[in-house]
Amino acid sequence: MKLKYLLSGLLLITGAAAAQPAIEARLLPEDFRVYVRDNQVINQPWPGFEERVLPTVNDFRGSPGCYVACYSHDAERAVYGVGGEIYVMGQIRVPGNYQNRVCQPADYEGRDISAAPAFKKLCGRQLPDRCRTGCWAGGDTGGWFGIQ
């Protein structure tokens, strides 16, 4: 039985419950496929949605880990938009844990990472082709794992 969730523009289709490694131990593929229509993104093919590759950097392979998304105002290089002229450029796995659906990087638990210079540099270094005009980071990536 498949379960479907629609979470703030993100449709998740999951398989039946099965033994899975802890979310913080799982790696997404570096050519992670997403499906986009306007400012909606889902992780499974769906009629009317265009397949795109979300660049995913897995340099950190330890556990626990989670993904930060890199955002920009650069629509031309973006994978998909989230509204308000904000676009997702890619995602990077870092040491940390998910709290609800938000990645809490180690040493930044409970803090807003969007203005943190270290994460702006990380996005620029790991996604140089996408973040030419500058990027910032955010942790709302737990939806890929079905976290609500």
**13 pLDDT exceeds 70?**
no
Q: What is the β-pairing status of strands 102-105 and 3-7? A: unpaired
Write out the H or E segment, with its range, that includes residue 75.
none
Residue 119 near residue 78 (C-beta atoms within 8 A): no
Confidence of residue 21 (pLDDT cuts 50, 70, 90): low
Residue 93 near residue 69 (C-beta atoms within 8 A): no
Q: Please state the pTM of the whole predicted model.
A: 0.85
42 forms beta bridges with 11, 35
Which tens digits make up the pLDDT trace of 42-79? 999 999 999 999 999 999 999 999 999 999 999 999 99
pLDDT at 148: 82
Helix, strand, coil in percent for the chain, rounding step 5: 10, 40, 45
